Chains A and B, each alone.
Chain A
Amino acid sequence: MLNKTKAAFEIRDYIREDLFPHFMCPGCGHGIAMRALLWAIHDLNIDKDKLAIVSGIGCSGRVGAYIDANTFHTTHGRPLTFATGLKLARPDLQVIVITGDGDCLAIGGNHLIHACRRNLDITCLMLNNETYGMTGGQVSPTTTRDRYTTTTPEGNYEPVFDACELAQGAGAGFVGREITLQTPSLKSLIQQGIAHPGFSFLEVISDCTEVYGRKNDLGESPQMVLSQKSEFRSDSYGMIADEVFQPRNVKTGVLHKSDRPEYAEAYQQRITDRVKK
């Protein structure tokens, strides 16, 4: 038997290669996020048979299908609800949700805050590319001010959500953010998130080159991720909530960690104390 912990990470061991060529556009950051996730899974020595990937709808929702695990492509905005049922019924599974900024913060916003509040042991990876890429690049709750989308022809005038602040405020046990360019840091963040016993919310700053980048003249993928590097860094912290129109200079890394009781554990404890005493 091969000792997995000692073997180097080989992405081919974790993907469904027969489905390739994949679905993502050239330059899309989602593939890098997937790589970082699988790398973390490898380093944590998680059994693929016990791994459940639950995703929603949109570009982020399609990532799951390429992962060689138990994969569930659910409905728009609701992957956290499926994951909640799955994790409660099957605590032995490692449940990871892959969602997007529209999926998680707009149509699924209610589920996000309640998942954070419950603090059930699920890892939620939100791939933030600031737009609805699958439907042609409409404005999302994280679209930067003044940027053009197919539904903000005069530039975006809506305030943005700071997803991490939101998750922390709602009670998530672990909150972090990383850009795709820093793949080893992203991998490390995901690893810590998965290992955390409770709900972990991880925002991945991805990039939509083909639709959003093109429309806003942000350059090719390398330029987009390099500009992210200057705007998102771990050594400077500016709260988006205070500068709603300027989501720049945003902190990355582990942003919040608490040891609030994990939901399923608290549930079982209550039952043991009250019903089976």
Chain B
Amino acid sequence: MSSVLNLQGNHACALAAIAAGCRFYAGYPITPSSEVAERMSLELPAVDGIFIQMEDEIASMGAVIGASLGGAKTMTATSGPGFSLKQEHLGYAAATEVPCVIINVMRGGPSTGMPTRPAQGDVMQARWGTHGDHPIIVLTPWSVEEVYEQTMRAFDLSEALRIPVVVLIDEVIGHLVESVDMARFKAVKPVERKWADSKKQGFQPYAITEDFVPPMPRPGDGYRTHTTGLTHAESGFPTQDPETGQRVISRLLDKLEHHNKLVESVEQTDCEDAEVVIVAFGITARAAQSAIALLQKAGIKAGLFRPITLWPFPDQSYASATRNARLVLVPEMNAGQLIVEIERYQKDGTSVVGLNRYDGEAIAPQQIVNKVKEVLQNA
């Protein structure tokens, strides 16, 4: 039997979650992500997992965190308005260091926006949607196969680092049907959470360990710890001591910094001597890939820089990929969000230009080609 499956992006996401060991899903129906929930409701019972459709988006995120606190690998899926509603709990998961995976199949916004149309308007919400300083990881697949791969990776990163991981998919990729060769995922062994296995007396659930990831106490194992969204000391109990507050929040943020190599994932195509580097993710990166072929045919040295891990933004790889670039073009299906981050690393001799579309249509390769030519002519 062939190992190749024809899969929709949202279904690939569900299957990858099961393969990664996800055994609890809580969600609320929302276009264009509902197929993730539908597929999970079909798959989970067969592997002794739990599927529950909660009363709202907030409740599904709460249930996901509750189940993860109990020890399950957990996931939820949503889209723009639902993602907004989940933000408080996303912050809770970040602060209490509870692993969980959040799928956001992006649609047009703001507000109810264009529910069935694609967009990439949640770049900043994914990074800064919840209040306060917090670590978060955001992954952006560009094909159905990569949805599978990055969803599995989302679980691995979340379990390994105790950080919530968002998989940012756009409506095009979510509903795209492509063939996926499952053979390459057969041997993948999912990462398991590091459980506390030390002395129970005086156990510090948020101790500052060498790798900044404290082992998690599992309820029932006898640790009887306290979990709170209040700023908490290493003991797990709330603190208002400024020195402690500074120290524990720093550890939370340093955790991500410390594991940067594990978290970062970028793809670079022909960037070495590129005069023009296009920075794009998701379906827009596929348009950019086609555009680059057309530009190269026209004699323009163009390359693609694709941040698969969008947050934390891979700044060093970006700097290296654009060292010879005169022009950095940032096409995105929003009014200019990723470009704000990229402009922070702008250096003399390179101009950073955006190409923005927020009319519910994907960016076409020819649009990118035209934009590059136009900018180069006017330079």
Chain A residues near B (Cβ < 8 Å): 19, 48-50, 52, 54, 64-65, 68-75, 78, 81-90, 92-93, 110-111, 113-114, 267, 271, 275
Known A78-B89, A111-B59; judge A84-B221 contact (CB<8 A).
no
A88 and B46: CB pair below 8 A?
no
**A64: chain B residues within 8 A (beta carbon):** 226
A75 and B88: CB pair below 8 A?
yes
Which residue of B has the minimal Cβ distance to A65?
B226
Cβ of A218 to closest chain B Cβ, rounded Å: 30
Q: How far is A87 from B26 in the complex, measured between Cα atoms in Å?
A: 13
Known A84-B63, A88-B50, A110-B55; judge A74-B45 contact (CB<8 A).
no
B227 and A72: CB pair below 8 A?
yes
B59 and A78: CB pair below 8 A?
yes
A75 and B230: CB pair below 8 A?
no
Instruction: Tell me if B237 is interfacial: C-beta within 8 Å of chain A.
Output: yes
B219 and A88: CB pair below 8 A?
no
What are 28 A-B contacts with C-beta separation under 8 Å? A49-B224, A64-B226, A70-B219, A72-B69, A72-B227, A73-B226, A73-B228, A73-B229, A74-B65, A74-B92, A75-B62, A78-B89, A81-B54, A81-B58, A81-B60, A81-B61, A81-B63, A82-B63, A82-B69, A84-B26, A85-B24, A85-B69, A86-B219, A88-B24, A88-B50, A90-B219, A93-B70, A111-B55
B54 and A89: CB pair below 8 A?
no
CB proximity to A under 8 Å, residues B23-69: 23-24, 26, 45-46, 50, 52, 54-56, 58-69
Cβ of B337 to closest chain A Cβ, rounded Å: 27
Which residue of A has the minimal Cβ distance to B88?
A75
Cβ of A104 to closest chain B Cβ, rounded Å: 14
**A73: chain B residues within 8 A (beta carbon):** 226-230
A85 and B65: CB pair below 8 A?
yes
Q: How far is A34 from B259 in the complex, measured between Cα atoms in Å?
A: 42
**B89: chain A residues within 8 A (beta carbon):** 75, 78
| Residue picked from B60, B225, B226, B238, most chain A C-beta under 10 Å | B226
Q: How far is A82 from B227 in the complex, measured between Cα atoms in Å?
A: 12
Known A70-B220, A81-B59, A271-B45; judge A89-B70 contact (CB<8 A).
yes
Cβ of B228 to closest chain A Cβ, rounded Å: 4
**A114: chain B residues within 8 A (beta carbon):** 54-55, 59
From A72, A78, A84, give the contact of B58 (CB < 8 A).
A78
Q: How far is A176 from B55 in the complex, measured between Cα atoms in Å?
A: 24
B220 and A85: CB pair below 8 A?
no
Which residue of A has the minimal Cβ distance to B73?
A89
**B24: chain A residues within 8 A (beta carbon):** 85, 88-89
Q: How far is A166 from B53 in the complex, measured between Cα atoms in Å?
A: 22
**B56: chain A residues within 8 A (beta carbon):** 110
**B46: chain A residues within 8 A (beta carbon):** 275
**A83: chain B residues within 8 A (beta carbon):** 66
**A111: chain B residues within 8 A (beta carbon):** 55, 59, 62
Known A69-B224, A75-B88; judge A89-B67 contact (CB<8 A).
yes
**A50: chain B residues within 8 A (beta carbon):** 219-220
B50 and A82: CB pair below 8 A?
no
B224 and A90: CB pair below 8 A?
no
Cβ of A256 to closest chain B Cβ, rounded Å: 22
**B237: chain A residues within 8 A (beta carbon):** 19, 65
From A19, A49, A85, A110, give the contact of B66 (CB < 8 A).
A85
**A69: chain B residues within 8 A (beta carbon):** 224
Q: How far is A276 from B224 in the complex, measured between Cα atoms in Å?
A: 36
Q: Interface digits, B194-228 against A, CB 8 Å rule (1 contact, 0 not)?
A: 00000000000000000000000001111111111
Query: Apart from A70-B224, A90-B219, A93-B219, what 19 extra A-B contacts exist at CB < 8 Å?
Result: A49-B224, A65-B228, A68-B224, A72-B227, A74-B92, A75-B62, A75-B88, A78-B62, A81-B54, A81-B62, A85-B64, A85-B69, A88-B63, A88-B67, A89-B67, A93-B70, A93-B220, A111-B55, A113-B55
Cβ of B89 to closest chain A Cβ, rounded Å: 6
| Residue picked from A73, A87, A275, most chain B C-beta under 10 Å | A73
A86 and B69: CB pair below 8 A?
yes
Q: How far is A86 from B52 in the complex, measured between Cα atoms in Å?
A: 12
Instruction: Tell me if B71 is interfacial: C-beta within 8 Å of chain A.
Output: yes
| Residue picked from B64, B220, B225, B230, most chain A C-beta under 10 Å | B220
Q: How far is A48 from B58 in the complex, measured between Cα atoms in Å?
A: 29
Which residue of B has the minimal Cβ distance to A64?
B226
Q: How far is A64 from B42 in the complex, measured between Cα atoms in Å?
A: 37
Instruction: Tell me if B283 is interfacial: C-beta within 8 Å of chain A.
Output: no
| Residue picked from B58, B61, B63, B67, most chain A C-beta under 10 Å | B63
A-B interface, 10 closest residue pairs, ranked by CB to CB distance from nearest? A81-B62, A85-B66, A85-B63, A82-B66, A85-B67, A89-B67, A73-B228, A89-B70, A90-B70, A86-B66
A86 and B70: CB pair below 8 A?
yes
Instruction: Tell me if B77 is interfacial: C-beta within 8 Å of chain A.
Output: no
**B229: chain A residues within 8 A (beta carbon):** 73-75
| Residue picked from A50, A74, A82, most chain B C-beta under 10 Å | A82
Cβ of A110 to closest chain B Cβ, rounded Å: 6
**A84: chain B residues within 8 A (beta carbon):** 26, 52, 54, 59, 62-63, 66
Instruction: Tell me if B74 is interfacial: C-beta within 8 Å of chain A.
Output: yes
Cβ of B64 to closest chain A Cβ, rounded Å: 6
**A81: chain B residues within 8 A (beta carbon):** 54, 58-63, 66
**A275: chain B residues within 8 A (beta carbon):** 45-46
Instruction: Tell me if B295 is interfacial: C-beta within 8 Å of chain A.
Output: no
**B61: chain A residues within 8 A (beta carbon):** 81
A89 and B59: CB pair below 8 A?
no
**B70: chain A residues within 8 A (beta carbon):** 85-86, 89-90, 93
Q: How far is A71 from B223 in the complex, measured between Cα atoms in Å?
A: 11
Which residue of B has the minimal Cβ distance to A270?
B45
B225 and A70: CB pair below 8 A?
yes
Cβ of A107 to closest chain B Cβ, rounded Å: 10
Cβ of B70 to closest chain A Cβ, rounded Å: 4
Cβ of A188 to closest chain B Cβ, rounded Å: 26
Instruction: Tell me if B72 is interfacial: C-beta within 8 Å of chain A.
Output: yes
